Amino acid sequence: MAPGSLCGGDLTVRRMLDPAALQSLLAKPWASRFEIPGELLEHDITVVPELVTLATDRYEVTYNRELGILLTWTAIIHRAVAQRTSLTHLTTVA
């Protein structure tokens, strides 16, 4: 990826595909849609630093149980979307 096309959201993809570290903050089972209080992640940002947006009120998350991945990760600040990362066009690798 060319440096000019890299953005902060690109760094979250690996964590969204492997969200296991998030379990130390929020135990499974996870619903297909759930929320995480912002202060929970900010308490120790080293747990999932790729997903943290500072001063976030809450995170809205969609989770695919079958694949075990996060499909969307949305940081909400003052009732507005501050940052959203979505995985789309997923294909199976044989």
**pLDDT at position 34, please?**
97
Instruction: Determine, yes or no, domain membership for 75.
Output: yes
**Dihedral pair phi/psi, residue 52, rounded to 5°:** -85, 130
Q: Looking at the 3D structure of the chain, how many domains does it have? A: 1
Instruction: Determine, yes or no, domain membership for 92.
Output: no
Instruction: Determine, yes or no, domain membership for 26.
Output: yes
Instruction: Determine, yes or no, domain membership for 91.
Output: no
- Contact of 23 with 15, CB cutoff 8 Å: no
Q: Which two tokens stand for residue 5?
A: 């096309």
Per-residue pLDDT tens digits for 5-62: 445 556 788 899 999 999 999 999 999 999 999 999 999 999 999 899 999 999 999 9
